[in-house]
Structure 1
Amino acid sequence: MTASPDGLRVLDLGRLSYAQAYRVQVEHVEAVLAARTAGAPVVGHLLLVEHDPVITVSRRPGAGSHLLATPEILARLGVSVEETDRGGDITYHGPGQLVAYPILDLNYLNLGLHAYMRLLESVVIDACDRWEVRGRRDPTATGVWVERGGQAAKIAAMGVRVRKWVSMHGLSLNVNPNMHHFDLIVPCGLAGRAVTSLEAECRAAGRAAPSMADAKLAIIGSMTHAVGQARDQAIESRAAVTDTLPRTDSGSTQSRWP
């Protein structure tokens, strides 16, 4: 594990099953909550992983109906199916896709859920920009999209869960996965919407595609910057509130933080 100057600790898990990575997430959520309880809140951790081929289905009503493949086809392709407690619908994870799980104390960072989702989108947009892949938001569908042949294609999907204002789950950026595996589902439950990857976009433009190592460095850099900005703004906000609070007889400031 490495720590950035902004306090975000980064852990590269390599390749893990979805269940294994979930257990690691829970351990880090507990650590962040324990730090808050101890009166020493931390920014949190960024877990990076490539999953074994898996389709994850949320508990949203109807999400399971977006699984198009039969059990026989899934078994032949070596793709498992897992229920998940994140938000969103159905998605695919597999080798060549970078999954980032930010385990962040959103309370410490003063981030609401909407602001946090926009932060995740900005992280991916900034990372993709390094290869001149112009990502954008879609106000009707969470994630990051690129224009391809006049049609928007999703390059990164997102789904999170928040427990006592500590985040888990996160984003998946398609670097160079097996794109045929997305045909096994209706990605994110959005019928008729295309999916793309950094490799596909770079090759279409005649540019070299990034490696997974390059993509990891880009996401780490963008996430560190975005979280650092949020942390600094939260500190300034708390300082401003503290300045307006009444002082006790001893001259100390009454503060509600943490």
Structure 2
Amino acid sequence: MAESDADMNLRWMKPDPLGYGQGVKEVHFIAAPLLAAAALSLAGVVASSDRGTFRWPGFTLLLLVVTAMLLIATIQLGYYARKFLYSRQDVYDWIPQPPPAEGTADEKFLREWQNDDYHKWLRYNNRANNCFDLGLVLIGVSVANVLAPPHHHSSDWRTAAAWTVIACTVLEVVAVAGMERAVTKRSELRRRSDPAARTMPVLAKETASESARSNTARAPRPRRALSPGRLPGGFRHRALRRVAQKKLARGGESRPAGDRRIP
């Protein structure tokens, strides 16, 4: 028995904004590996340098190693989380039978399945984001420590470069926090919007029904066996059938009675 929309406890989950999944994919699998490689390369430079080249070589080396480990953890957590992010259309494309109707028990099972996986993706994705944000701050602090001049050799240019990196890191943190607040506020305004709340479930249901019909139409149909009295070659049109029968009549004199092939 199909349940009404009011009885549906779980809905098909989606990222908000819709491009959020693609955005974190770029961060976790492109930016994080590049920054981790840079941190490890810089750690090798600090470890192999002569004593007195850097102001705090031991502390700087520790920061670079921790930064690299956080960025590597970002890659691992992002890879694990990405396996649980998929849409309703992905479910309908992969199930072997035609998609179930909206509100049925089978459709509710698929919704619960996708809902559980989506929250798992969200949980591990947030952990990956936290690792990346902390690694981004630490790599800025580490670069500033590398640029800081040693005690016995003061350099105004190196000091200015170090403070520039510190200022850019602080600006990065403020900018990221501001963008996150803006996105959260925009999402809350959309959720509180009455027209969007009324139209979104209807549009989603119509899209699912159209998707089910299109997938069913694209599914290959099994071939029906030809009846014994049907002419070979698939002549379904009456005119073509009459032409075929005339050709068979003309060629019947030179062929055995059992040979029914069309010349």
TM-score range (shorter-chain normalised) is under 0.3
Is the radius of gyration larger for structure 1 or structure 2? 2
Q: Which has the higher strand share?
A: 1
What TM-score results when the alignment is normalised by the length of structure 1? 0.26
What TM-score results when the alignment is normalised by the length of structure 2? 0.25
Q: Which has the higher helix share?
A: 2
